[in-house]
Amino acid sequence: MSVKAYRLEALEIIRNIREGNLSITDVIEDFLERVERVEKKINAFITLRSKDELLQEAKIKDRLLKEGKARGRLLGLPIAIKDNISTKNLRTTCGSKILYNYIPPYDATVVKLLKEEGAIILGKTNMDEFAMGSSTETSFFGPTRNPWDLERVPGGSSGGSAAALASGEAPLALGSDTGGSVRAPASFTATVGLKPTYGLVSRYGLIAYANSLEQIGPMGRTVRDVALLLNVISKYDPYDGTSLKVKRPDYLESISKFNNLHRRVKIAVVREMFEEGVSREVVTIVGNVVNKLVDEGFIVDEISIPVIKYALPTYYIIAMSEASSNLARYDGVRYGFRANVHGDWNEVFSETRGNGFGKEVKRRIIMGTFTLSAGYFDQYYFKALKVRTLIIKEFKKAFEKYSILISPTMPTPPFKLGEKIADPLAMYMSDIETVTANIVGIPAISIPAGFAKEKLPVGIQLMANYLKEDLLLAMAAFIEELTGLKNLIAEV
C-alpha cells in the first residue's frame, strides 16, 4: 500500500481493510506515526492511549477479521473523542483542572455504540474548558493550534477533534455542539461537522454544559464519512430521557438516494446572517458557492428573519443559566480536584471551585447564577425562553416554504491565537451564525466552502428541518462535489 492510511477517507480505509490491502494494525501504525510527527505542534489530544495498548487492540481485531468474526461497520478505524464524552477507564477531563484526574466508571452510550461497531478509541481530544468557548483556547491543557496555520485557532469548542482530522491524526472524530462547537471548528479547519436534531443522538455520558441545547456531533473530512459515523451513533437510547424514538434512515444510503435535488429543494439565505459582523471575504466565498448552486438550477431566495438578531443574547442567557446548574456538582467530594484547605464544607467547596475552574467558566457560572436568581429570573432567563419560542416559530414558517437554509458558518476566517480571548463579548460574537440551530433544535452541518487569503479555511453552513439529516447530508454531498473540497489534510 503506497499511500499512507492517514491520507485516506474513512470509507476508503474500510474498503481497503475489507479487501485485504491494509490490515487494521497497518492502519493504526500509520496514524500513530502521523500523531508522533505532528501532535507536538498541534496539541489536539489531552489523553492518547498508549502505543502498546492500541497495537494490541488492533492485533486482536485483525485476528477476528481473519476469522470472519469482525462485523462492525467501523472495522478497526481509530476515532478521536472529545474529552467531554465519558469513556470507561479512560481519563475524561472536559479540558478542566477540576476534572484533571477523573476516570469515568462507565461509557457514554455513543462510545458503547462505537465499540460495538469495532472502532478503536485513539484518545480524548482537547476542547475549550467545559465546552465554553469558540476557539479551544480556554483549555487547562493549553490551546490547540490550527493545522492550516499554527498561529491561529482551530475554532472551538471541539477544536481538538477538528485539528486531529485536519492534520491527519484521525479519520473520524466526535465533538459536541452547544452553540456551534462542532461546526465552528469544522469551518476553521476545512473539515465536515454535523450537529444533529436535538434528541437524535444520545446525550447519556456527554458531560453537560447546556443540556437543552447540546448534541454530540460526528466529524470527518468528507460528508460520507460523517454520514457513516452518524449511522452508528444516532440510535434511540432509553438512558436519555430526551432521546427520540423515531426510526433513523441509513444516512449513507440517503446521499445516493436523493437525486435531482435541484428540483426538490428550495433554498433560502437569511439576510440577517450575511450582515452584522460577517467579513466581506466570507460573504464572497460563501456567495460563490450559492451562485454555483443557482447555476445548477437551484432556486435560492433571500428571506428575512428579524428575530434572529436576538438569537445570540437568547442563546447565551439560556446557556449560561444551564451551565451554572450543570456545573454545580463539581465540589471535590466525589471526584476530581479538591482544594487543599481546611475549613467547613462551604470553604472547601468555594476554594475548590474557585481554584479548579478557569476564568471563562467562572464568568459564565456567575452570570448564569445571576440570570436564574430571584428578582432577575423573569426578565432574563424566563424571557429568553419566550424569545426562543418566537425564533422557533419563525423557523417553522421558513421551513414551510424552504427545505435548506444556507449561511456562512463563521463570520470570519480563523483568527489568531490570543486575538479575541481577552474580550469575552468579541468571542461570543463568533457564534452569531451557529447558535440559532441549537436554539431551535434543528440539524445543521458545516462543510468547506473555500479558502480566504493566506489559505485560511472558510466553511458554509446548511440547516434543515427537524429530522431531515438525510436531506441535509445529500445536499452537503452535492456541494462537496461542486466545490471539489473534500478530504483536505493540512501539511503541518
Partner 1 sequence: MEERNVKIGLEVHVQLTALKTKLFCSCPSDYRGKPPNTHVCPVCLGLPGALPVVNRKAIDYAIMVALALNSKINEKIIFFRKHYFYPDLPKNFQITQYDRASGAPIAIGGFLKINVNGKEKIVRIRRINIEEDPGKLVYPTGSIITSPYTLVDYNRSGIALLEIVTEPDMSSPAEARAFLNKLRSILEHLGVCNCELEGSMRADANISVAGGSRVEIKNIGSPKDVEKALAYEIVRQKQAISKGVIVKSETRHWDDLRKVTVPLRVKEEEQDYRYFPEADIPPIVITKDYIEKIRESMPELPDARAKRFIENYGLTEYEAQVLVTSKWLADFFEEALKHYSRKPKKLANILINDFLRWVHEKELEPDRIKAKPQHIAELLKLLDDKVISIKILKNILPEIIINGKSPHEIISERDLVKISDKEVIKKIVLEVFIEHKKSVCDALVNKRAIHYLIGQVMRKTRGKADPELTHKIVLEMLEKVKKGELRI
Partner 2 sequence: MRRKIVITEELIDHLAWLARIKLTENEKKEFLRDLNRVLEFFDEIDKVNVEGIEPTTHTALLTNVLRDDAPQKPLPQAEVLYNAPEKENGYFKAPKIL
267 — phi, psi (to 5°)? Answer: -105, 145
Site for partner 2 in 284-303 (CB under 8 A): none
- Dmax (CA) for the chain in angstroms is 71
Q: Which does 343 bind (CB under 5 to 8 A by kind): partner 2, partner 1, none?
A: partner 2
| Catalytic residue status for 82 | yes
| Catalytic residue status for 401 | no
Binding flag, residue 478, partner 1 (CB under 8 A): no
State the Cα–Cα distance between residues 103 and 200, nearest whole angstrom: 27
Dihedral angle computed from the Cα positions of residues 310, 311, 312 and 314, in that order, rounded to the nearest 10 degrees: 80
* Closer residue to partner 2, CB minimum distance, 423 or 454: 423
| Per annotation, catalytic residue among 23, 86, 134, 157 | 157
Q: Which does 100 bind (CB under 5 to 8 A by kind): partner 1, partner 2, none?
A: none
Binding flag, residue 348, partner 2 (CB under 8 A): yes
Instruction: State how beta strands 192-195 and 120-125 pair.
Output: unpaired
The piece of 8-16, 275-283, 375-383, 455-463 that touches partner 2 (CB under 8 A) is: 375-383
3-state SS, residue 90: strand
Q: Which does 94 bind (CB under 5 to 8 A by kind): partner 1, partner 2, none?
A: partner 1
Q: Which does 97 bind (CB under 5 to 8 A by kind): partner 2, partner 1, none?
A: none
Q: Which residues contact 181 (CB under 8 A, 6 or more apart)?
A: 127, 128, 131, 134, 156, 157, 158, 175
Task: Kindly write out the interface string for residues 423-442 of this chain, putting x where it contacts partner 2 by CB under 8 A and - elsewhere.
Answer: -xx--x-----------xx-
Number of residues lying near partner 2 (CB under 8 A): 71
Cβ–Cβ under 8 Å, residues 99 and 336:
yes
* Grid cell digits, residue 58: 488492533
Of the candidate residues 41, 373, 397, 401, the single one contacting partner 2 (CB under 8 A):
373
Q: Which does 317 bind (CB under 5 to 8 A by kind): partner 2, partner 1, none?
A: partner 2
Q: How many residues does the chain have?
A: 492
Binding flag, residue 277, partner 2 (CB under 8 A): no
Site for partner 1 in 335-354 (CB under 8 A): 335, 345-346, 349
Beta bridge partners of 446: 193, 461
Binding flag, residue 387, partner 2 (CB under 8 A): yes
State the Cα–Cα distance between residues 113 and 456, nearest whole angstrom: 35
State the Cα–Cα distance between residues 68 and 343, nearest whole angstrom: 61
467 — phi, psi (to 5°)? Answer: 60, 20
The piece of 50-58, 66-74, 174-182, 312-320 that touches partner 2 (CB under 8 A) is: 312-320
For 342, counting Cβ atoms within 10 Å of its Cβ (0-12 exposed, 13-18 middle, 19+ buried), the class is: exposed
Site for partner 1 in 149-208 (CB under 8 A): 203-208
Q: Which does 329 bind (CB under 5 to 8 A by kind): partner 1, partner 2, none?
A: partner 1
Q: Which residues contact 341 (CB under 8 A, 6 or more apart)?
A: 347, 348, 351
Q: Which residues are catalytic?
A: 82, 157, 181
Residues that bind partner 1 (CB under 8 A): 85-86, 92, 94, 99, 102, 104-106, 108, 203-208, 211-212, 238-242, 321-322, 324-325, 328-329, 331, 333-335, 345-346, 349, 369, 372-374, 377, 381-382
